Amino acid sequence: MLNTLLTPRLWKPEISLLEEFLRVLPLQYRTIVALAYFTTSRIEDILSLQKQDITSEVIIIEDSTLHTTKKVPIITKLRPYLTVYLNGYKTQSSDFLFSDKLGKPLKTSQVFKILKIVANKINLPDMYLSVLR
């Protein structure tokens, strides 16, 4: 019988495509994608969020396809993205979390235009963006 000694290898987790994508997105879009991904919500529903929809523990999201409201817990992976964004939110005059210069919610098409530009820069296949629709 052969006696071999297995030495443990240092395991380095690879950075996921999502993490890489989030790292290169501007703050507002990074937060939108993180919210959509970690709450399993559509971008359209995230764009209608208002400050009062977020508590310290949950996010209240209107599901536009089912016409229902869901309470989604703020999980550990989402909290840093949300905290960084909300710390800078105080300067905004709109009730919407993600608004344009006029205080209206961002348009879904505008968000996807930016996401696609950034995704192309890091060679992220379009199929990954379709998950957020």
- Contact assessment for residue 65 and residue 58, using Cβ atoms and an 8 Å cutoff: no
For the chain, give the percent of residues with pLDDT over 70.
Answer: 80
- pLDDT of the residue at 22: 87
Question: Please, what CATH class does the domain formed by 17-131 belong to?
Answer: mainly alpha
Q: What is the pTM of this model?
A: 0.81
Q: How confident is the model over 54-110, as pLDDT tens digits?
A: 999 999 999 988 899 999 999 999 999 999 999 876 666 788 999 988 889 999 999
Give the strand pairing for 68-73 and 58-63: antiparallel
Cα separation, 133 vs 128, in Å, equals 10
Closest CA to 132 of 69, 63, 71, 41: 41
- pLDDT of the residue at 11: 47
